Structure 1
Amino acid sequence: MPPTPRLAVGDKAPAFSLPDADGNTVSLSDFAGRKVVVYFYPAASTPGCTKQACDFRDSLAELNEAGLDVVGISPDKPAKLAKFRDAEGLTFPLLSDPDREVLTQWGAFGEKTMYGKTVQGVIRSTFVVDENGDVEVAQYNVKATGHVAKLRRELAV
């Protein structure tokens, strides 16, 4: 299988419209004029994904003050996202991409190594999209733990 094409700084961020945990449609265009952190994670309510989501939750006020919104995207169905959001007190949108179309467009789904084996799956990735819809930061294979703090340092937030 060919490697998944990846986004690079300066690329136009691929548009999306996906259901959130409550079934409401959220689009990238909803954030026009603001910067937004778009992060892709494998599965709600798993240890690493919970740690990462809680780190974003705990940093949300500072990110918002710096003009950054946050959106998380996974292949989970809205009902699972709602349970995850409610269990962890998450206050930013979690979007559902069960067909993995958006994940693939952003280069966040494809071949990866897990426990020494090559598998198809979600590649934990984080992007910052600027006010004009261009990719300002593109990070693939990020670590669940410590990633948000590292991103904040890089963005001086």
Structure 2
Amino acid sequence: MIKVGQPAPDFTLPAHDGTSLSLASLRGAKVLLWFFVEANTPGCTLEGRGFRDHQSYFDESNIRVVGLSFDSPEDSAAFARRHEFGFPLLSDANHAVALAYGACSGPDARYPDRVSFLIDENGAIERVYDQVDPRDHPARVLADILGV
């Protein structure tokens, strides 16, 4: 798994809204890269709603939340619509990004690991969240960022 202080591997992936998103395009803001297991599963739904419900705090802290799974862009779009997510969900169908970050067990993994990376404004890994509980992960990230 990639470590704190290392450069975050760049990527360009299809987003749920039909566009493509690259990590490089987000330079100047922090990015919370949230790997989630699968759209519409109970844990991922709970976690995604937490990010949605705390979106204003992330925005005020200049942090872009970006979700990433192996789901198709169509499945991600349905997930985003159903739960009114205001952040992009990316499709890593060939697992290349998850492999680069060490966020899956291998190229044949069925799902990415439940892990998140806080990437600083210059593109370096600032924090790794590898012991994630979907019930409180968004709140834990905010507590770290806000120093509470």
Equivalent residues of 1:108, 1:140 under 8 A apart: no
Equivalent residues of 2:70, 2:111 under 8 A apart: no
Deviation track 1:119-145 (CA, whole Å, cap 9, x = no partner) reads 864210111111110000112141111
1:98 alignment counterpart? 93
Q: Give 1:1-157 correspondences, 5 Å limit.
A: 6-110=1-105, 121-156=111-146
Residue 112 of structure 2 aligns to which amino acid in structure 1? V
CA shift, 1:30, in A, is 1.2
Equivalent residues of 1:15, 1:27 under 8 A apart: yes
Measure the CA separation in 1 of the matches of 2:58 and 2:16: 21
Equivalent residues of 2:51, 2:138 under 8 A apart: yes
Higher strand share: 1
Indicate the SS of the match to 2:24: helix
Deviation track 1:30-61 (CA, whole Å, cap 9, x = no partner) reads 11111111110110111000000110001111
What is the TM-score with the length of structure 1 in the denominator? Answer: 0.88
**Runs of 4+ displaced beyond 4 Å:** none
Gap regions ≥5 residues in structure 1: 1-5, 112-118
Measure the CA separation in 2 of the matches of 1:104 and 1:38: 14
Residue 10 of structure 2 aligns to which amino acid in structure 1? A
Bigger Rg over Cα: 1
